[in-house]
Amino acid sequence: MAGDSQWERMVRGLEYDPGDPHLQRLRQRALELCLRLNILSERPSPEYLSLCRELLGSIGEGSVICANFFCDYGLNIRLGAGCYINYSCVFLDCAPITLGEGVLVGPQCGLYTAIHPLESEARSRGIETAKPITLGDRVWLGGGVTILPGVEIGERTVVGAGSVVTRSLPAGVLAMGNPCRVVRSLE
């Protein structure tokens, strides 16, 4: 791991140490900003918009994040214009999380990029990897949807409430279940 910072390794999908002091400081920063944002949520104001810009990698015009939003770093989250993140969502952004324009995220959704080793010995060493998550324009996630690392969801796709998305989904479909599967086309 010599030569690369743990941050660089993390966002590139390589093994990294989440216990790295710099990563710990960045997570603490995100927590403090989330707590402040959650107090102001649903009250778009100059302070609210300033906090969103400070927390996130980028946020498009007209996007809203409701209260009880939490993330690992925030810096790896990019929201297109007109996104709506409903109540009590968690985005674990060890790798980039990108939402296109007009994405609707229902309450209690979780987008998780972190991957822990399956082998207990490797897991006990605390080393992780991460894979990005990408949601295309006008995707709608129903309440309680879980998106796992490495998933891409094509534009206009709707994911039914309570689904666990373990694999990428094409554009323009209705998908649901655990594990999530395409039910039908929306074209």
Residues with a known catalytic role: 116
Which phi and psi angles does 98 have, rounded to 5°? -120, 125
* Residue 178, number of CB atoms within 10 A of its CB: 11
Strand partners, 16: 128
SS3 162: coil
Which tokens is 17 given? 């140490």
Q: 161 vs 49, 51, 147, 148, 187, CA distance in Å?
A: 29, 29, 12, 15, 20
